[in-house]
């Protein structure tokens, strides 16, 4: 039987991968760990009666610490009200510029209810993993679209909050 006893494991570059506190408990470093968490929220009611038009809702910003990092996005859009009928969609896009509807679309989800109004508000959760390949600040945007006839639609109706969590996953 062989026994290998170490306090620290390092890669070729001298970066600590695993270390022990002396009690036999090892702490992993680097890959797959969460490097930072950023939270964003809004309770600004947004509404329009446009159809097939992307509308900027809100965004979160994060600056990856390495080009190999991934960004895990969890976004919940609350108090969606669809006026008279049809479908609404939520999208996540990321870009290096703030605001607007530009950027790389990484997820899309549609609420297919024919009608949900103020007595039947809905929520939508979007999740995705972004590989931005940059250490520059990125803007992760929530976009809303009304797909059918131009009846009035809202998000964050009656000042309900929508949330976005951005987590840098070290890779």
Q: What is the pLDDT of residues 40-83, one digit of tens each?
A: 999 999 988 888 899 999 999 999 999 999 999 999 999 888 77
Decide if pLDDT at 29 tops 70.
Answer: no
CATH numeric code, 31-169: 2.60.120.1340
- Measured CA to CA, the distance from residue 57 to residue 89 in angstroms comes to 12
Statement: the pTM of the whole predicted model exceeds 0.75: yes
Q: How many Å separate Cα 149 from the centre of its chain?
A: 28
Please, where in the chain does CATH 2.60.120.1340 lie? 31-169
Decide if pLDDT at 31 tops 70.
Answer: no
Q: Which two tokens stand for residue 156?
A: 């964050």
State residue 12's pLDDT score: 72
Q: Which two tokens stand for residue 116?
A: 């949900």
């Amino acid at each position: 039987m062989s026994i290998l006893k170490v306090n620290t494991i390092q890669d070729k570059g001298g970066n600590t991968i695993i270390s022990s506190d002396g009690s036999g408990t090892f702490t992993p470093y680097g890959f797959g760990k969460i490097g930072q968490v950023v939270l964003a929220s809004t309770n600004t009611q947004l509404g329009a009666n446009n159809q097939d038009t992307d509308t900027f809702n809100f965004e979160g910003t994060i600056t990856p610490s390495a080009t190999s990092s991934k960004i895990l996005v969890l976004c919940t859009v609350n108090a969606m009200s669809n006026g008279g009928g049809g479908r609404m969609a939520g999208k996540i896009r990321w870009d290096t510029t703030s605001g607007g509807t530009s950027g790389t679309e990484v997820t899309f989800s549609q609420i297919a209810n024919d009608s949900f109004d103020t007595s039947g508000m809905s929520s939508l959760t979007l999740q995705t993993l972004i590989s931005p390949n940059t250490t520059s600040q990125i803007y992760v945007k929530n976009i809303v679209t009304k797909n059918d006839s131009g009846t009035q639609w809202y998000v964050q109706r009656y000042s309900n909050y929508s949330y976005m969590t951005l987590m840098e996953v070290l890779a």
